[in-house]
Amino acid sequence: MKREVIRIKLENLRNEAHVSYNTAFGAMVDKYTPETLNINALYGEYKTAFADEIAALDIVRKSALTDAIDQQDSIRDSIFRGMADAIKSALNHFNAEKREAARKLNVVFDNYGNIAAKTLDQETAAITDLLRELNSPDNAALLTLLGLGDWAQQLDTENTKFEQMMLERYAETSQRPTVKMRDARQKTDKYLRAIFDRLEALALLNGTDGYENFIKELNALTERYKQIAAQEKGLRNSKTETAVK
């Protein structure tokens, strides 16, 4: 007879999977009823905590500017890379004067590294500094010689758009509820673990009658999400290893 509740490292689940697991758990408890399982008080506190987690996830999902910011970041990344590639290409220009202009500008770009790989705010600042340097009289003349003046202007335009979007998101964030996803999850997890402990204690104290089927279903659910957590952890590790290489 099954009395042990299988545990899962809840912190390994991503937000969507964490909510999905708890939603399934809640449906299971409601089917058996918290009164029958004798977890009514704890379950009420758990439901309150989980409601805060769902609200926090909705905030993450519904950020109206998130997709637009990602698209705008891609636009400025593309312009930066295109400009850098054009300068590298000009290093092989048949015209010696243009080759020299490309060499000087390439030194400037090399000093900033791969700007597109920086964090969003770091990239904004780096592009602003790069443009300030490129707009100096000497460098501006080099850009004009290579026909890249309009690239610099467009990069400035798109970077300014991005910066404005970020300011709007900061304003939006300041008006959000104070509950953070991490805090909400930790509170949900605290009550969930307390429920697991109580179910085990009650099953040991009263025998498995009334608990065996519930615990079997709960363990089957947990095993499935343990596999999901392992897969998600593997994907995160894979991405980290790829980034390091």
% of the chain at pLDDT higher than 90: 68
% of the chain at pLDDT higher than 70: 88
pLDDT of residue 63: 61
The DSSP secondary structure of the chain, one letter per residue, reads: ---PPPP--GGGS-HHHHHHHHHHHHHHHHHH-HHHHT-HHHHHHHHHHHHHHHHHHHHHHT-TTHHHHHHHHHHHHHHHHHHHHHHHHHTT-SSHHHHHHHHHHHHHHHHH--GGGS-HHHHHHHHHHHHHHHTSHHHHHHHHHHT-HHHHHHHHHHHHHHHHHHHHHHHHHHTS-S--HHHHHHHHHHHHHHHHHHHHHHHHHH-STTTHHHHHHHHHHHHHHHHHHHHHHHHHHHHHHHHH-
Residues sharing a CB contact under 8 Å with residue 202, sequence separation 6 or more, in sequence order: 37, 38, 211
pLDDT tens sequence across 128-137 = 999 999 999 9
For residue 221, pLDDT beyond 90: yes
pLDDT of residue 192: 97
**What is the pLDDT of the chain when averaged over all its residues?**
88
The DSSP secondary structure of 126-162, one letter per residue, reads: HHHHHHHHHTSHHHHHHHHHHT-HHHHHHHHHHHHHH
For residue 82, pLDDT beyond 60: yes
Q: When comparing pLDDT for 207 and 52, which is higher?
A: 52
pLDDT of residue 243: 40
pLDDT tens sequence across 141-161 = 999 999 999 999 999 999 999
For residue 215, pLDDT beyond 60: yes
Reported as a pLDDT band with limits 50, 70 and 90, residue 241 is very low
CB-based burial label for 242 (10 Å; 0-12, 13-18, 19+): exposed
CB-based burial label for 239 (10 Å; 0-12, 13-18, 19+): exposed
Reported as a pLDDT band with limits 50, 70 and 90, residue 244 is very low
Reported pTM: 0.53
Residues found in the chain: 245
Residue 78 has which token pair? 């593309």
pLDDT of residue 242: 43
pLDDT of residue 5: 93
Query: Residue ranges per domain, the chain?
Result: 10-62+187-244, 66-174
Contact 46, 181 (CB under 8 A): no
Residue 60 has which token pair? 């993450």
pLDDT tens sequence across 7-30 = 999 988 988 999 999 999 999 999
Q: When comparing pLDDT for 151 and 172, which is higher?
A: 151
